[in-house]
Structure 1
Amino acid sequence: MSERGEVYQTLDLALRIGEVLLSSGAGAADVTAAMLEVTRACGVHNVTADVTFVDLTLRHQPSSDEPAAIQVRRVTRREVDYTDLTEVDHLVNELIAGHLTRIEARDELARIVSTGHRRRRWAVTLGWGLMGTGVALTLGGRLVVCTLAFLAACAIDRTQHLMSHRRIPMFYQQAAGGFVVTLIAVAAAATPLDVNPSRVVTAGIVMLLAGVGLMGATQDALTGFPLTGSARLLDVVLNTAGIIAGVGAGLTLGGLIGVGPTTFTPGDAGLAEAGITVFGAALAAAAYAFASYAPRRCLAAVAFVGAVGQAVQVAVDGALGGTWAATAAAVTIGAICYLVAGRFRVPPLAVVVPAIVPLLPGLDIYRGLALLAEGKDGVLQLASALATALALAAGVILGQYAAQPLKREARRLETRLSGPRMVGPFRRSD
């Protein structure tokens, strides 16, 4: 390829693909690999890539005596759409396999990003509500608690949706979500209903934590992208601080009107309780995937993986404690996702993120905030939540490393790339 204009068009195609992947939560290593494979498939070699949290850069210099062609694309925030992510992933693999030309790939990418979501907005809101119900079930909630968790999750989604249309920063969206769910729990506690409001608040916290992107930040830090990882981690910290601020404000308001926060400690789960917990995890994982526009064909797989992860967590928790239980569950989820995602023709990222949602440390965050609201020391509980979240993110990636040798093509690719692929090409183009 000698025409400079064609080189620029190839770089532009690769950057647009990278933007979709990065804004969907893919790690910087995966985005880099995908963009470089796209340029190679289009006949442009000697390309280097630079990925940050907000910018993608590609440089092409065919020889030392020619000026470099440099293109930069600013990454815009997009609502996560796993259907778009899956279609872009298929597009990349089709292009690498030679089944699409560059022009065809460009047209197909334009169609994918311009057609909008495939699911009605009211259905997405109901999906978030079912996720809240599933999380409440994992906490042992009864009918009233599950109903309140459903309503709270729907209210959070509608509140954040309206705020996002007005371009209000995510920190304030998270704070508003935390405040809304706490108000609903406080209002329920002020009624004669037999309800434990802590479970409602915890379900809302888990819903808000699901979108903060800690796994992507951890993956970037582990795979040699410290700048991108640091930026993502700061974003995670700010969004989590928004949740803490909103829930804390709601608990303070509840204390002012005489409705104090309550806490609970889950007892030893019997056979029936464990079964309900596993079912709740499967429901929460599948509902999150549905609300994130995942293809319908993978919802059963997401539910299965989420249930297996929760079962491992329940089995290990009594013997080794919460953090190690979360680690074991995350490793299991990472390994299973790496092996089964291909059977459902979706990238592992679209399965692994929903599957770990029921394991997020919403309970520890609530306990810490409740103690602080009572004037006690809740730092230990908040630190435990941070440790659990990091264990989940690192455990998923470790599980992918453990399963990676079982796929010959992936093993061959990983000899020159920096980690197991969550999304992007799984076979070499040259």
Structure 2
Amino acid sequence: MSPDPEPVGSPAPGDRDIREITAIMSLSLRIGELLLSSGAGASDVSAAMRNVAWACGLRGFTADVMFTQLTMSQQSSPEEPALVQFRQVRYREVDYGDLTDVDHLIRALLAGTIDRVEATHLLNRISSTGHPRPRWSVTVALGVMGGGVGMVLGGNWLVVAVAAAAAMLVDALQRQMGRRRLPTFYQQVAGGLLATLIAVGVAATPADVSPSLVVSTSIVMLLAGVNFLGAVQDALTGFPVTAGARILEAFLATAGIAAGVSGGLKAADLLGVDLGPLHPGAYSTTHLPVMVLGGAIAAAAYSFSAYAPSRSLVPIAAVAAVAVAVYVGALNRDFGVAWSSALAALLLGLISYPVAARWRIPTLVVVAAGITPFLPGLSIYRGLSLLATDASAALLAMVTAAAIAIALSSGAILGEYVAQPIRREARRLESKLAGPRLVGPHTVRGVRGLRRRRATKRVADPAPDRGRGSEPPPSP
């Protein structure tokens, strides 16, 4: 008896396989696109794409990450042609809320609680849903961040208020320019110019406000979008092409800030307005509580402006406060600005890993927000202001700014490298040192590990099942 014919219009088995492979690759690429656009490193994006494809049952594939393009290919056998898919990453907007949701999606997919179809539906919902906060609240949050940075730099309450207003005006200007699709370089030029002109206007009044601190805080607000973390991480993990592209992007954005500030300083000279000497702030233990509070406010406000989950704001503020305290302590002991920044970033990376795991957010969210108070806005302004009078001092200030940026990024990444094995060994030590439990197991993780070891032993040495009340023989 001949088998029943295939229904008319139904795909052949090979076509069904190709469609499933294509769907898996498309899901992996879309997840990689969202992670890369949110500032994740190329190694993290590549690992996430491979994990998603593997969890969905795809084998014989490769995943490649470039700065503006993601590629996946799959070849079932050497005799068959390879399937290749590309995805362009052109529009970049940091949204830590979407980043957190995608991180949870990946974990659920790897755990087997959802399948590929459910993951695709969840990803469609994440990518099609707008921001959870109104845009005006983001502008206000950036103003609060500017005020917090002003507190870190040692400004008085008037400096904090002017810095907050300047940050909100700069954000409003850049938002209008972004709607007209102007490149980021010109937005940075306009932001730096507006911040300097606001400082010039303040200097023309009898108000007791340091124009240099106003410009410095506004520059930090602009630098917050320049993600050096991803560039340094890509360079350290073997993605030189992507690292070079990110460094070039960061360099152009920083050059735009420098051009805008330089134009504002030239306008001050033409108008005859003296911006006064540069007062970098008094870094001493007497101002430590104010600086710690300012760092916490700045970090929490930046994470709020980047749409981070509300539950993460308080932990991020606490981590940033501890980092600022370490930074001030190291600076008071003559470690230098670069080494103090590196030590603070190292501690930030160490603390961020367990904090992120505890509050169910990606570590990138904690680290990127925590380094905001340390960004080298003051050094950049000092270098630009001294360019016309003392070229050597200006060059030294710009080199210091570059050293601070590299120290922050490399220190935070080193902290992540150290934190992961420390946490793993701490769990093992806790299991060994824990006292005898009269009821219940030590930890859920320990029970899972025991089950895995028993299952492995049964596969290696099958034996008849013991009775319900019997116990396995003790290990030697």
Q: Residue 238 and residue 409 in structure 1: after superposition, are their counterparts in 2 closer, same or farther (change >3 A)?
A: farther
Provide the rounded CA distance (Å) in 1 between the counterparts of 2:263 and 2:114. Answer: 54
| Structure 1 residue ranges without an equivalent (≥5) | 412-430
Letter in 2 for 1:382: M
Provide the rounded CA distance (Å) in 2 between the counterparts of 1:269 and 1:337. Answer: 26
**2:365 paired residue number:** 350
What secondary structure does 2:387 align onto? helix
What secondary structure does 1:338 align onto? helix
**1:395 paired residue number:** 411
Provide the rounded CA distance (Å) in 1 between the counterparts of 2:145 and 2:57. Answer: 45
**2:25 paired residue number:** 11
Work out which of the two has the higher radius of gyration on C-alpha atoms and give 1 or 2.
2
Q: 1:113 aligns with which of 127, 133, 144?
A: 127
What secondary structure does 1:116 align onto? coil
**2:50 paired residue number:** 36
Q: 2:353 aligns with which of 334, 338, 346?
A: 338
Provide the rounded CA distance (Å) in 2 between the counterparts of 1:289 and 1:226. Answer: 28
**2:398 paired residue number:** 382
- Tell me, yes or no, if the aligned pair for 1:251 and 1:373 is still in contact at 8 Å: no
Residue 376 of structure 1: how far off its partner (Å): 4.1
Letter in 1 for 2:53: T
Residue 260 of structure 1: how far off its partner (Å): 2.7
Residue 86 of structure 1: how far off its partner (Å): 0.2
Q: 1:208 aligns with which of 222, 245, 253?
A: 222
- Tell me, yes or no, if the aligned pair for 1:23 and 1:80 is still in contact at 8 Å: yes
Q: Which runs of at least 4 in structure 1 moved beyond 2 Å after TM superposition?
A: 265-268, 373-377, 406-411
Letter in 1 for 2:400: S
Provide the rounded CA distance (Å) in 1 between the counterparts of 2:425 and 2:401. Answer: 37
Provide the rounded CA distance (Å) in 2 between the counterparts of 1:309 and 1:194. Answer: 30
Q: Residue 189 and residue 246 in structure 1: after superposition, are their counterparts in 2 closer, same or farther (change >3 A)?
A: same
- Tell me, yes or no, if the aligned pair for 1:126 and 1:154 is still in contact at 8 Å: yes
- Tell me, yes or no, if the aligned pair for 1:15 and 1:35 is still in contact at 8 Å: yes
Q: 1:55 aligns with which of 65, 69, 73?
A: 69
- Tell me, yes or no, if the aligned pair for 1:24 and 1:85 is still in contact at 8 Å: yes
Identical pairs, percent: 52
Provide the rounded CA distance (Å) in 2 between the counterparts of 1:198 and 1:85. Answer: 36
**2:6 paired residue number:** none
Provide the rounded CA distance (Å) in 1 between the counterparts of 2:43 and 2:426. Answer: 14
Q: What CA RMSD, in Å, does the superposition of the two structures yield over aligned residues? A: 1.6
Q: Are 1:166 and 2:180 counterparts?
A: yes
Residue 407 of structure 1: how far off its partner (Å): 3.5
Residue 261 of structure 1: how far off its partner (Å): 3.2
What secondary structure does 1:73 align onto? strand
What secondary structure does 1:80 align onto? coil
Provide the rounded CA distance (Å) in 1 between the counterparts of 2:426 and 2:321. Answer: 26
Provide the rounded CA distance (Å) in 1 between the counterparts of 2:281 and 2:154. Answer: 8
Q: Residue 169 and residue 338 in structure 1: after superposition, are their counterparts in 2 closer, same or farther (change >3 A)?
A: same
Q: 1:245 aligns with which of 234, 259, 274?
A: 259
Per the normalisation by structure 2, the TM-score is 0.84
Aligned residues: 411
Structure scoring higher RCO (CA < 8 A, sep ≥ 6) equals 1
**1:96 paired residue number:** 110
Q: Are 1:328 and 2:362 counterparts?
A: no
Provide the rounded CA distance (Å) in 2 between the counterparts of 1:408 and 1:19. Answer: 30
Higher mean Cα deviation, 282-291 or 252-261? 252-261
**1:266 paired residue number:** 281
What secondary structure does 1:397 align onto? helix
Letter in 1 for 2:265: L
What secondary structure does 1:372 align onto? coil
- Tell me, yes or no, if the aligned pair for 1:404 and 1:410 is still in contact at 8 Å: no
Per-residue CA distance 1:3-39 (angstroms, 9 max, x = gap): 0011011000000000000000000000000000000
Q: Are 1:176 and 2:203 counterparts?
A: no
Residue 369 of structure 1: how far off its partner (Å): 0.6
**1:372 paired residue number:** 387
**1:220 paired residue number:** 234
Q: Are 1:302 and 2:316 counterparts?
A: yes
Provide the rounded CA distance (Å) in 2 between the counterparts of 1:240 and 1:407. Answer: 36
Provide the rounded CA distance (Å) in 1 between the counterparts of 2:159 and 2:239. Answer: 42
Residue 126 of structure 1: how far off its partner (Å): 0.4
What secondary structure does 2:70 align onto? strand
Residue 270 of structure 1: how far off its partner (Å): 3.1
- Tell me, yes or no, if the aligned pair for 1:248 and 1:373 is still in contact at 8 Å: no
- Tell me, yes or no, if the aligned pair for 1:261 and 1:370 is still in contact at 8 Å: no
